[in-house]
Amino acid sequence: MPQQHIVKSYEDELALLDTKIARMGGLAEHNLGQAFDALQRRDPRQAEMAIVADQAIDVLEKDIEEQVIGMIARRQPLADDLRHVMAALKITSDLERIGDLAKNIAKRASAIAELSHPKPVISGLGRMVELALHQLKTVLDAYAERDAERAIEVWRNDQRIDAMYNSLFRELLTYMMEDPRSIGLSTHLLFGAKNLERVGDHTTNIAEIVHYLVRGEPISDDRPKGDDTSSLLVGSND
């Protein structure tokens, strides 16, 4: 009975770890959607709410890190259990960065709240957000269900976000060349788009982690990427 109790306690700790990852992922999804809504509606109050909400993600990150450290010290996990614990720690790091990127978008939404946004660009950003959120939800489901195939699907679809970003980059560059007065606004929107592209990269990182967790080996192919010409001119802001 004592041994069974120990095993049950350990399983409960692992399950709690997954619950915290799901909660953290849900917060990242919500904050990203809220940040874009603030940008689209030109609502500085909503942008501020998205900025403040990032603190909850940071708190969860520290909580998960402390639990992982404690589990490694007390349980000394081996094989599959060690892979599980380390995967959770790595995913936590990527989710924290996604939260930061959502906060960056909210800050830009606040900075340009008084300016009129070009509708085609906002529509393009909306499509990027929709895909980024879909990718994030899918990869979190893949982690919860230990589904390597869904993780690979996310990994392959990242190039769609890259293609959307490069299209928006060229569109915004055209706006700036045609009307120098739009440079300030366009620059904020351009970095907002870059933040979304980076969200896609972190989601792809999670997909690779999930694949390794399930299969015990990394994805062997090179990561698919779209045309990266724009990256030569715009930093990651990450």
Q: Does a structural domain hold residue 202?
A: yes
Quick one: pLDDT at residue 102?
Answer: 98
Q: Does a structural domain hold residue 134?
A: yes
This prediction's pTM: 0.90
Q: 38 or 8: whose pLDDT is higher?
A: 38
Quick one: pLDDT at residue 231?
Answer: 52
Q: Does a structural domain hold residue 21?
A: yes
Q: Could you tell me the maximum CA-CA distance found in the chain, to the nearest angstrom?
A: 76
Q: Which of 31, 74, 33 is nearest to 53 (CA)?
A: 31
Q: What is the mean pLDDT of residues 149-160?
A: 96
Give pLDDT tens digits for 17-36: 999 999 999 999 999 999 99
Q: Does a structural domain hold residue 237?
A: no
Domain of residue 19: give its range: 2-232
CA dist., res. 86 & res. 167, Å (int): 37
Q: Does a structural domain hold residue 126?
A: yes
Q: What is the mean pLDDT of residues 105-121?
A: 92
Q: Is 232's pLDDT higher than 80?
A: no
Q: Does a structural domain hold residue 238?
A: no
Q: Does a structural domain hold residue 213?
A: yes
User: What is the pLDDT of the chain when averaged over all its residues?
Assistant: 91
Q: Does a structural domain hold residue 47?
A: yes
Q: What is the mean pLDDT of residues 122-143?
A: 97
Q: What is the CATH number of the domain that holds 144?
A: 1.20.58.220
Number of structural domains in the chain: 1
CA dist., res. 39 & res. 24, Å (int): 23
